[in-house]
Amino acid sequence: METQTLTQWNLDTMHSELQFKVKHLVISTVTGSFKNFNVEVATEGDDFSTAQIKLTADVSSIDTGNEQRDGHLKSDDFFNAEKFPALTFESTGIKKVDEENFILSGNLTIRDITKPVDLNVVLGGIAVDPYGNTKAGFEVEGKVNRKEFDLKWNGVTEAGSVVVADVVKILGNIQVAKAQ
């Protein structure tokens, strides 16, 4: 049986973003992002249903547009960036739903706590850019419960409302380029 050489894909940082959204006071949503992250992808040929994926995000690069809140998120109340400088996701499998939609399963590690998660992935397509590079684009979406990863801080207002929701949405717009 012939084994196929794996195709390596590298993150196109200029055309990628990794965000999260969480409800604040149950009435509005705060959006944040990780400014520094990397994604490594290996596929058999150009078949993303065979993808092996590893994502690493630099926790100290968290950005919500508010320096004080970012500092709180980096503290031990949440990510503890000093002790746990990175969060990671490693794929364990991928299920092709149809030509564009996939369910990506993997292990998410935050604060040295690893939990299985499923993410919905939409393949935007594969195209060749003006410089001859083959690129693929994806939209990734999922949800995690932050308390399962010991992101435990929980304020409550005088009226008894939760300040930060437990469920956090994960959103990624990821573009990768085939390694030359």
Phi then psi for residue 70, to 5 deg, are -60, -45
Higher pLDDT, 147 or 52: 52
Smallest CA-to-CA distance from 35 within 73, 62, 8 is with: 62
Q: Tokens in use for 34?
A: 């990780």
**CATH code for position 126:** 2.40.128.110
Res 153: pLDDT = 58
Distance CA 149, CA 167 (A): 11
Q: Please name the residue ranges forming H helices in 34-174.
A: 67-74
Task: Give the tokens for residue 137.
Answer: 């684009």
What's the confidence (pLDDT) of residue 178?
94
Question: Rounded mean pLDDT of the chain?
Answer: 88
CA 105/CA 68 separation, integer angstroms: 34
Q: Is this structure's pTM higher than 0.85?
A: yes
For residue 9, pLDDT over 70 is answered with yes
d(CA 121, CA 142): 9
- Please tell me the total count of domains within the chain: 1
**Mean of the pLDDT values across residues 136-141?**
96
Find the helix or strand (DSSP H, E) in which 93 lies. strand 86-96
Assign 24 a pLDDT band (cuts: 50, 70, 90).
Answer: low
pLDDT digits (tens, 9 = 90+) for 111-125: 999 999 999 999 999
Q: Is the pLDDT of residue 32 over 70?
A: yes
- Considering the domain boundaries, does residue 32 fall inside one? yes
Domain limits at 139? 7-178
Does residue 39 lie within any of the structural domains? yes
Confidence (pLDDT) at 110: 92
Q: Is residue 2 part of a domain?
A: no
Is pLDDT of 25 > 90?
no
Q: Is the pLDDT of residue 135 over 70?
A: yes
The segment with the largest mean pLDDT, out of 29-38, 50-59, 166-175, is 50-59
State pLDDT tens for residues 38-65: 999 999 988 899 999 999 999 999 999 9
Check residue 149 and report its DSSP letter.
G
Q: Is residue 1 part of a domain?
A: no
- Percent of the chain beyond pLDDT 70? 87
What contacts 24+ positions apart, CB below 8 Å, involve 65-68?
Answer: 65/32
